[in-house]
A = this chain, B = another copy of it.
Amino acid sequence: MENKFLSFYDLDITGGFWYDRQKLNSETTIKAVYDRFKETGRFEALKQNYKEGQPNRPHIFYDSDVAKWIESAAYIYKKNKDESLLVLCEEMIDDIEKTRRQDGYFNSYFQQFEPEAIFTRRTDHELYCAGHLMEAAVAYYECTGRDRFLKIMCDYADLIEKVFLKDKSAAFTTPGHEEIELALVRLYKATNEKRYLELSKFFIDERGTKEEDEYDFAKHNYAQSDRPLRELSLAEGHSVRACYLYAGMADIALEYGDKELFAACERIFNNITEKRMYVTGGIGSAYQGESFTIDYDLPNNTAYTESCAAIALCFFANRMLKMDVNSKYSDVIERIIYNGFLSSTSLDGKAFFYKNPLDIDPKMKDRLTSTKDREHFPETERLEVFGCSCCPPNITRFVASIGDYIYSEKGDTLFVHQYISSKADKVEMESNFPFGGKVTIKTNNYNNVAVRIPSWVDKYTIKVNNVAADYEISKGYAYIKLPENALIELDFNMEVCLVESNPEVFINQGKVALTKGPVVYCLENIDNEAAVHKISLKEELNAEIEYDESLKAEAIYTDAYKKEFTSLYRKVNSDYKKIKAKFIPYYCFANRGTQEMCVWVNFIN
């Protein structure tokens, strides 16, 4: 029996942390992204009337940016019924309908600039754009009931099926940038047309089974094509592409009951979360190839940790959760949504990080003599738009659909995965997450509830109708039999906690990260009397929590220590000066100018 997730379509976020985020998303962020995309010609590109010499020459990935914006707008419309969003979407769909080829093909770059190269270059994002357009079309159909865009994309999917699966007339078999695999599964579910599921399975089955064109600057595993997917054990290559693929693999594993594929997915998931994931949930350790690297290689200042990769890992984890109710999946989602994902967006909702470093030392940019090398120094403040601006509309669609991650049901059991205040037909929850651990859940429609016990919690209580509940723990969930009209009260103790990394993460030896509940904290110079890289902590923190009005978040004050001396080297001694440190949630960093920041803080053991 499938563990079936409640769609965010069928519930409302009713208050608290994510209510505020969704409000910002629908009132500010979606419009900010629109404005920047309009300025940079991304929507105009759909009209396919670009003339050489004009600004904003369309790029091979522009359609995917537009698609994610439409998907976001559809989700937001679903909740706020803002018709102005649909007006914008309809114009875009008009353009797509007008300019697409008769055979169903649509790509605003290839049609205009290289029609002869259509379906010949594996490395050029064609099916990636197609996948995002399909996701957008499904979302638009589901949120508005209008099926024009869906039909357009079905035509395109039919063409892709013909070219790739039936005729095998394309110059490559599987795409260099994955995404279409999971998109086709969504298209199948929206249309009930099994051919789309089979086409997705075809791309999964074929990938890595034979030599295909590769990116010449990178190793063969950059595009996850170095071996058949069922043989994979390591997360490798471009981290966004990888996790979109893994999500598609999990979809196929679920739809076909493919245990071998599930096992590969689990091996990969374990490899990511046990050896290749930052404490913020960020993934992808190297800007070279925007990629996973090797086990325990988690550099903080050059962390690539693309915002899209964090989102993609949530997609992957949630699909695994459908097949295996195990808190290792939902814990990772929680880690991401409160840290490495949330950091992607400025507190005013208008600017974005592509990379989410765990350490900033701005002066290090000046260490590089070569102007070329300087380009790879991570941004120290968020930007409103990027040349490759995949992240902003990915963020808007993810925030709008965060409700997808809260509940699932299987038979007469309700599963609660994320503690987000919300109301659906059969359940209602109030939660103080992420800054408070109290949660109440009301339901009269299930015989059992299974609630996730977060991995960070030491102490917690569970009451049902005001009485300590009997429960059994299985794979990180507490299973509880429910009476009628159940009021479940959870209280997860959120202590300030110092976390250490596995000793194999050499770079974090002798350092700790401060956390409280699901939130990872960081230090910024603006809050501290010492440069944050010179601050040390001891186990005795004497932590005090104080609400920071400007950040709208809990700050944590602790005892801390620093050394000051002038010589470059000296005989070691312990003459620390005691000071105070102020920690803020990691996701709040870089909202107050360029400055030093660190998550991993020196520890005096």
Contact = CB atoms under 8 A, between A and B. Distances in A.
Interface of A: 217-219, 222, 237, 273-275, 277, 279, 285-286, 288-289, 291, 293-294, 297, 361, 363-364, 366-373, 497-506, 509-513, 533-534, 536, 539, 562-574, 602-605
Given A293-B367, A533-B509, A500 B570 contact: yes
B288 A369 contact: yes
Given A363-B294, A368-B288, A509-B533, A274 B568 contact: yes
B294 A503 contact: no
Contacts of A570: 499-500, 502
A498 B571 CA distance: 6
A171 to B, nearest CB: 24
Contact of A294 (B217, B274, B367): B367
A297 B536 CA distance: 20
22 contacts: A222-B369, A237-B369, A273-B568, A274-B567, A285-B367, A288-B373, A289-B369, A291-B369, A294-B363, A297-B364, A497-B571, A499-B570, A499-B572, A500-B570, A500-B571, A502-B565, A502-B568, A503-B534, A503-B563, A504-B534, A506-B533, A512-B572
B509 A534 contact: yes
A508 to B, nearest CB: 9
A294 B377 CA distance: 15
A369 B510 contact: no
A597 to B, nearest CB: 12
Given A217-B370, A294-B366, A572-B603, 16 more contacts: A217-B371, A218-B370, A222-B369, A277-B568, A286-B368, A288-B369, A288-B373, A293-B368, A294-B363, A499-B569, A499-B570, A502-B569, A505-B568, A506-B533, A509-B533, A539-B574
This chain: copies in complex: 2
A367 B286 contact: yes
Nearest to A293: B367
A510 B512 contact: no
Nearest to A237: B369
Given A369-B293, A510-B602, A574-B605, A275 B568 contact: yes
Contacts of A372: 217
Contacts of A274: 566-568
B217 A500 contact: no
Contact of A565 (B275, B503, B574, B603): B503
Contact of A288 (B370, B502, B539): B370
A497 to B, nearest CB: 6
A288 B375 CA distance: 13
Please provide the 3 A-B residue pairs with the shortest distance between their CB atoms, ordered closest to farther: A289-B369, A293-B367, A510-B510
A581 B505 CA distance: 20
A369 B218 contact: yes
A534 B294 CA distance: 17
Nearest to A372: B217
Contacts of A563: 503
A124 to B, nearest CB: 19
Contacts of A512: 572
Contacts of A217: 370-372
A456 to B, nearest CB: 9
Contacts of A533: 506, 509
Nearest to A220: B369
A500 B277 CA distance: 31
A569 to B, nearest CB: 5
Contacts of A273: 568
Contacts of A513: 569
B605 A297 contact: no
Of the candidates A222, A285, A371, A502, the one having the most CB atoms from chain B within 10 angstroms of its own CB is A502
A509 B536 contact: yes
Given A218-B369, A497-B571, A605-B574, A502 B237 contact: no
Contacts of A573: 500
Nearest to A499: B569
Contact of A289 (B366, B370, B503): B370
A151 to B, nearest CB: 40
A294 B361 CA distance: 12
A603 B571 CA distance: 13
Nearest to A458: B571
Nearest to A497: B571
A287 to B, nearest CB: 10
A93 B372 CA distance: 43
A602 B572 CA distance: 12
A509 to B, nearest CB: 5
A534 B569 CA distance: 23
A166 B506 CA distance: 59
A603 B574 CA distance: 11
Of the candidates A277, A294, A510, A562, the one having the most CB atoms from chain B within 10 angstroms of its own CB is A510
Nearest to A221: B369
B501 A568 contact: yes
A566 B502 contact: yes
A534 B506 contact: yes
Nearest to A598: B506
Nearest to A501: B569
A503 B576 CA distance: 11
Contacts of A569: 279, 499-502, 513
Of the candidates A505, A512, A569, A572, the one having the most CB atoms from chain B within 10 angstroms of its own CB is A569
A386 B481 CA distance: 73
B603 A510 contact: yes
